[in-house]
Amino acid sequence: MTRIKIDPVTRIEGHLRIEAEVTGGKVSEAWASGTMFRGIEKIVEGRDAREAWIWAQRICGVCTTVHAIASVRAVEDAVGATPPPNAELVRNLIAGSQLVHDHVIHFYHLHALDWVDVVSALKANPAKASSLAQSISDYPLSSTAYFQGVLTRLKTLADSGQLSLFASGYWGHPAYQLTAEENLIAVAHYLDALEWQRDVIRIHAVLGGKNPHPQTFVVGGMATPLDPNSPQAINEERITFLRSLLKTMRTFVEQVYLPDVLLVASAYPEWTKIGGGTRNFLTYGGYGKGSVADTASYLFPRGIIRDLDLTRVLPMDQAKITEQVARSWYTYPQGNQAALHPYKGETDANYTGPKPPYQWLNTGDKYSWLKAPRYDGQVMEVGPLARALVAYAAGVPAVKQSVDATLKKLGVAPAALYSTLGRVAARALESEIVMSQLEGWLDELDRNMNAGDLRIADTAKWDPSSWPSSARGFGPHEVPRGSLGHWVEISDGTISRYQAVVPTTWNASPRDAQGQPGPYEQALVGTPVADPSRPLELLRTVHSFDPCLACAVHVLDAEDGGQRTTVSVDTG
Ligand code: NFE
Ligand code: MG
């Protein structure tokens, strides 16, 4: 048996450590540890509930905006404020464009190099790459000269002896399967995606003032003025500009991202059988036409899939959510075995045990700054795959068509979704689906404005004296990495308790009081490892979840934290 640690896992947000035992060339047991603590839930205590979103949004800069939305929703739920339809449309536009932007960045900049060997691309024939690219897509940047240019840039980097943004990969690893030309196409699109993402996120600058962290949220709606005839408001000229940005966004998704995901998926068919993990999936659902309460209009339905049974979607009741800390560096006043609903949750990092042993974690005891969220006591995966499975099982036409068409192209059955590559494919499919809604939401906003409906905020509940003296609320949101919930308790206008349970907290959770491993820990079991000192295969499955530990734990060990990633192997 060999024990591996990767710390920190790079090409993610935040600080994640993975330890795994490898037996007979496969992972037999794994542990995921969040090695940072932030405590935003403590920071908002005692503050005016109307400003919670400003603080909460700082939980993360990758899934920017999402915590602002979950936070204002929680406060709106508590105080009874109802955003008007235009505010919901603007929120959908901000959130939907963030989701597509984030998924493209994840695929190219955080995950592609687990599948794409950059050094192999140096051997590519640009003319062959050009004809291959033209056979799979209409993307206009596909000439021999274009690929020759990318190759020259790459060769310049390699000849300088420094691979810069491509340094420290496991280049030449036997698990890489793409041809040199396929690798060159992917590297070219990696570079193009850097420019694309900078351009399209100007949607947030228009609707939110800036990115990251749009500044136009308000409890009860948005602070974005609408007026077709005013230069100071969202007007006809800005709507036209947004339309052009959405077109740029759509073109890249359709002509580059989706064909590249198919290219990678076709080259790695065995990865539709690896990395499944937990068989339970949870969604809060979202992207409706009206208020959060209008669940019937959700683009992604709310629900639970248990034991991979796609014949029925069970109801999701947030009252059944708890967080446990038996294996996390926290203590609950109610004891180590307690499972607390977020309305009763505690974020007291008053861990008083021995200093965590960083050479190898004490995985038999507490080993992570993440809590362990559970639904009805059960481990749940959240995220694009959960959304795809719940929507597929619920028979949502857009999702069924899109999933079935992709499965047909790849020649695989729906069970193939339950895998490392299934997560990658689900992310691409939902990008296409959300993309197709974004233009409709913008058209609807434009129509409302032209019909004279300029309402953007419900101010009836702005004054805290109109609130009950004590109130509590739940703010759900479906965000790139999965189901996000904020729970707030308000006493006399200020926050008395605040809890966020974040997608990566669900997926990267440690074991719980019953010893059940979290989704990453389950998904890694069975992963083949050709070379324990270069555990590329582990990264494939971990990255397929798109980890964000900054979100998940909402102290980094200064002695260990300053180093570059260490991969340690202990053969015992
Ligand atoms: Ni920091 Fe996040 C998303 C949230 S996390 S990236 O998407 O909420 O798990
Ligand atoms: Mg939390």
Report the C-alpha gap between 349 and 41 in whole angstroms.
11
Q: Token pair 């798109």 is at which residue?
A: 546
Nearest to 225 by CA among 86, 64, 83: 86
Q: To the nearest 10°, report the CA torsion of 474, 214, 383, 326.
A: -60
Report the C-alpha gap between 251 and 366 in whole angstroms.
47
Tell me the pLDDT of the chain (572 aa) as tens digits: 899 999 999 999 989 999 999 999 999 999 999 988 878 899 999 999 999 999 999 999 899 999 999 999 999 999 999 999 999 999 999 999 999 999 999 999 999 999 999 999 999 999 999 999 999 999 999 999 999 999 999 999 888 887 777 877 899 999 999 999 999 999 999 999 999 999 999 999 999 999 999 999 999 999 999 999 999 999 999 999 999 999 999 999 999 999 999 999 999 999 999 999 999 999 999 999 888 999 999 999 999 999 999 999 999 999 999 999 999 998 899 999 999 999 999 887 666 777 777 789 999 999 999 999 999 999 999 999 999 999 999 999 999 999 999 889 888 888 899 999 999 999 999 999 999 999 999 999 999 999 999 999 999 999 999 999 999 999 999 999 999 999 999 999 999 999 999 999 999 999 999 999 999 999 999 999 999 999 999 999 999 999 999 888 763 344 444 444 667 777 65
Q: What is the mean pLDDT of the chain?
A: 94
Cα distances (Å, whole numbers) of residue 340 to 43, 168, 318, 344, 368: 20, 42, 12, 6, 18
Nearest to 265 by CA among 128, 409, 390: 409
Q: 49, exposed or middle or buried, with CB in 10 Å at 0-12, 13-18, 19+?
A: buried
Cβ < 5 A residues, ion ligand 2: 500
Q: Token pair 């909402």 is at which residue?
A: 554
Strand partners, 470: 491
Question: E strand or H helix at 399, and its extent?
Answer: helix 397-410
Number of the ligand 1 atom closest to the C-alpha atom of 102:
7
Q: What is the pLDDT at residue 559?
A: 47
Report the C-alpha gap between 387 and 476 in whole angstroms.
14
- Whole-number Å distance, alpha carbon 61 to ligand 1 midpoint, is 9
End-to-end CA distance of the chain: give it in Å, rounded. 6
Task: Quickly list DSSP for 169-210.
Answer: --TT-TT----HHHHHHHHHHHHHHHHHHHHHTHHHHHHHSS
In contact, 567 and 535? CB cutoff 8 Å: yes
Q: 318, exposed or middle or buried, with CB in 10 Å at 0-12, 13-18, 19+?
A: middle
Phi (first) and psi of residue 371, to 5 degrees: -80, 175
Phi (first) and psi of residue 509, to 5 degrees: -65, 150
- Whole-number Å distance, alpha carbon 255 to ligand 1 midpoint, is 27
Cα distances (Å, whole numbers) of residue 22 to 27, 381, 529, 531, 553: 4, 24, 7, 10, 28
Task: Quickly list DSSP for 417-449.
Answer: GSSHHHHHHHHHHHHHHHHHHHHHHHHHHHHHH
- Ligand 1 pocket test, pick from 499, 551, 553 with the greatest ligand atom count within 8 Å of Cβ, gives 551
Q: What is the pLDDT at residue 169?
A: 86
Ligand lying nearest the CA atom of residue 66: 1
Strand partners, 373: 323
Number of the ligand 1 atom closest to the C-alpha atom of 66:
8
Ligand lying nearest the CA atom of residue 346: 2
Question: E strand or H helix at 484, and its extent?
Answer: strand 482-491
Q: What is the CATH number of domain 2-321+375-523+531-570?
A: 1.10.645.10
Three-state secondary-structure class, residue 247: helix
- Ligand 1 pocket test, pick from 548, 549, 553, 554 with the greatest ligand atom count within 8 Å of Cβ, gives 548
Q: What is the pLDDT at residue 554?
A: 62
- Whole-number Å distance, alpha carbon 144 to ligand 2 midpoint, is 50
DSSP for residue 400: H
Question: E strand or H helix at 66, and its extent?
Answer: helix 66-79
Strand partners, 221: 218, 457
Q: Position 426: which residue type?
A: A
Report the C-alpha gap between 238 and 455 in whole angstroms.
17
Could you count the other beta carbons within 10 Å of the beta carbon of residue 14?
Answer: 24
**Helix 236-252 crosses helix 85-105 at what angle (to 10 degrees)?**
30
**At CA 459, angle to CA 458 and CA 464, rounded to 5?**
125
DSSP for residue 294: -
- Whole-number Å distance, alpha carbon 25 to ligand 1 midpoint, is 32
What are the respective helix, strand and coil percentages of the chain, to the nearest 5?
45, 15, 40
Q: Report which protein residue has its CA nearest ligand 1's atom 2.
A: 63
Sign, CA torsion 519/302/72/430: positive
Q: Position 218: which residue type?
A: V
Report the C-alpha gap between 137 and 143 in whole angstroms.
12
Residues flanking ligand 1, CB < 6 Å: 13, 60, 62-63, 66, 479-481, 484, 502-504, 548, 550-552
- Whole-number Å distance, alpha carbon 365 to ligand 2 midpoint, is 20
